[in-house]
Amino acid sequence: MVGRGRPLFSGMPGAFALKHTVRLSSPRTEVTTRDFDNAFRCVLHAKSWQDLLQAKVQLPGKRRTCGFDPSTFVRLNEQGKDQHQDWLKQVQSGTALLEAPAIWAAQYGEMLGHVLDSNQSVRFADGLDAVYQFSKALSQMVRDRNYNFANHRSDWADLQQLHFLSSPSVHLLTDDGPLRDRVRNSQQRNRIISFRQFLREHGFAERH
C-alpha cells in the first residue's frame, strides 16, 4: 500500500480537529501519530501472525521487540460505541441535550484537555460542523421511541470520520447515503463526495 514511502497518519479524530482548528495539541489523547507509525512498522516487519500477537517482532536496528494486539482496539472501538449510545439514550429520555455549537465545542475542548476561549470555541465548532450536524440529526432521530439502537452502532464510526473534515484539504469519499443526508445542512457537505457519482464522472463502471 505504501511502496517505498512512509505513510502519513492523521492521528485520533478529536486531536486532529483540535490541531487543525485552534492549533492546540490534545494532552488527554493517549494514542498519537507516533504510536500509529510504530504500529505500522511493527506490522510491516512481522514474519508471522503469532510473532505479532506475542510481541516478538524484531525491528531493524532495535534491541527490543514489538507486537500488535488488535483485540485492544476492538475493545476501545466497542467502548466508544457504547458511550455514544449511552449519550443518545439520555437525549431520548430528556436527561441530556445537544448544546448550541460554540457551547458544545467548548465542552468538547475541555474533554480534550483545554479551556477554550469564545473565539477558539467558535473556530472549533466551525471545524466540526459536519460532526455537529450529524449529532443533531441523531438527536432528532432518537426521539422516536421505536428507534433501534442496535441497528445504529456504526453511527459512532461515521462521527469519527467526519472529524477529519476540520482540515479544508480533506474530502470524504463515501457510498453512505444516510451519512450525506444527515449532514446536508453542514457547511462542509460539499466535501463529502458520493462514491457512485465520482465513478460516473470519471468514466468508471459502478460494479460494487
Express each pLDDT in 71-111 by its tens digit. Answer: 888 998 999 999 999 999 999 999 999 999 999 999 999 99
Question: Which of the four pLDDT bands, split at 50, 70 and 90, describes residue 170?
Answer: very high
Contacts of 159 (CB under 8 A, 6+ apart): 13, 84, 131, 134, 135
Residue 70 has pLDDT above 70, yes or no: yes
Question: Which of the four pLDDT bands, split at 50, 70 and 90, describes residue 6?
Answer: confident
Contacts of 19 (CB under 8 A, 6+ apart): 11, 25, 26
Q: Tell me, what's the pLDDT at 208?
A: 56
pTM for this predicted structure: 0.90
Q: Tell me, what's the pLDDT at 2?
A: 80
Mean per-residue pLDDT over the chain, rounded: 93
Domain map (residue ranges) of the chain: 13-31+69-201
**φ/ψ (deg, to 5) at 174:** -145, 155
Residue 167 has pLDDT above 60, yes or no: yes
Is pLDDT larger for residue 17 or for residue 36?
Answer: 17
Q: Are 123 and 112 in contact (CB under 8 A)?
A: no
Give the mean pLDDT of 129-156: 95
In the numeric block, the cell 463526495 is attached to 193
